[in-house]
Amino acid sequence: MWECVNFLIFTFTHFHIYTLTMRIFLIGFMGSGKTFWGTKIAESLQIPFYDLDAVIVGELEMTIPEIFKIKGEEFFRYKEKQVLEELVAKKESFVLSSGGGTPCFFNNIKFMKRHGKVVWLNTSTQVLQQRLMKERLTRPLLQDISESELHTYIVRKLGERKMYYEQADVTVREDELLLEPLISLLK
């Protein structure tokens, strides 16, 4: 799989190799489709895909709920920042699905904007509620929330995170998203 694209540009007596980097950071609330769309975008652009949570799980050999329970959210958020910075330092091109809270801590949103293009998958609260209802027990922040409280929680958390999500370079309505128009926006 290609991580970068090299272009040769010839002049009369010299040639230059230019390397294009493309780092795409997908942000949005949990359940917004970041992993689904990230794999599609990466495949289309022929660059690697990383799910930030999956990288952390692989490094720590613990599930996200285990990390939250044993080490706490503060540890997790710090690890998230560390892994994000390591990926940027090591990889020229990729698509990254961030955690829903990633942009909201340690100035991660500014870091991502400095090192690539940030895309907010803005998903309706109704769609989020439908998706998260099925996954509630695997999401550490939702485990103690009843089905009847879920919608209120989503609305409140989105309100808290919106100021970070709105800093994205590109905002797309996930429930209306088509791959090819999105790829055109990213090039």
In the chain, where the domains are located:
23-186
How does 40-73 read in b/e, with b if 16+ C-beta sit within 10 Å? bbbeebebbbbbbbebbeeebebebeebbeeeee
In this structure, which topology does domain 23-186 adopt according to CATH?
Answer: Rossmann fold (3.40.50)
Identify the pLDDT of residue 20.
63
Cα–Cα distance measured from residue 98 to residue 84, given in angstroms and rounded to the nearest whole number: 9
For the cut 80, the answer to whether the pLDDT of residue 34 exceeds it is yes
Per-residue pLDDT of 59-95, as tens digits, reads 999 999 999 999 999 999 999 999 999 999 999 999 9
Per-residue pLDDT of 147-167, as tens digits, reads 899 999 999 999 999 999 999
Q: Tokens 């800093």 belong to which residue?
A: 167
Cβ neighbours of residue 2 closer than 8 Å, sequence gap 6 or more? 46, 47, 93
- Angle (CA) 136-139-145 rounded to 5° is 50
Q: How does residue 135 score in pLDDT terms, banded at 50, 70 and 90? A: confident
The CA–CA distances, whole Å, from 9 to 3, 6, 79, 187 equal 20, 10, 41, 20
H or E element at residue 127:
helix 125-135
For the cut 60, the answer to whether the pLDDT of residue 6 exceeds it is no
The CA–CA distances, whole Å, from 121 to 27, 29, 96, 155 equal 6, 8, 13, 16
Cβ neighbours of residue 78 closer than 8 Å, sequence gap 6 or more? 106
Q: What percent of the chain has pLDDT over 70?
A: 89
pTM: 0.87
